[in-house]
Copies of this chain bind each other. A is one copy, B any other.
Amino acid sequence: MEIFYGHIEDGGMMSLPEQESAHCVRVLRHRAGDTVYIIDGEGTMYECRIMNDSPKGVEAQIIASHEGWGSHPYHLTAACCPTKNNERYEWFVEKAIEMGVDRIVPVIGSRSERRVFNTDRVRRIALSAVKQSLKSRIPDIDEPVSMSDFLAGGLGDALGLIAVCYEPKNAEGQVVPRVHISEALSRSDNRRVVVLVGPEGDFSPEEASAAIAAGYIPVNIGTSRLRTETAGMLAVASVYLSKF
> B-contacting residues of A (Cβ < 8 Å)?
70, 72, 91, 95, 98-100, 133-135, 180-182, 221-227, 230, 233-234, 237-238, 240-242, 244
Contact = CB atoms under 8 A, between A and B. Distances in A.
A95 B231 CA distance: 10
A169 B119 CA distance: 46
13 contacts: A72-B224, A95-B233, A99-B224, A133-B227, A135-B224, A180-B241, A182-B241, A233-B233, A234-B240, A234-B241, A237-B237, A238-B241, A241-B241
A133 B230 CA distance: 11
Instruction: Please state the number of chain copies in the assembly.
Output: 2
A140 to B, nearest CB: 18
Contact of A99 (B100, B182, B234, B242): B234
A173 to B, nearest CB: 28
A243 to B, nearest CB: 10
Given A222-B244, A224-B240, 17 more contacts: A70-B225, A72-B222, A98-B226, A98-B227, A99-B222, A99-B230, A99-B234, A100-B222, A133-B225, A133-B226, A134-B225, A180-B244, A181-B241, A182-B244, A222-B241, A223-B244, A238-B241
A130 to B, nearest CB: 11
Contacts of A226: 98-99, 133
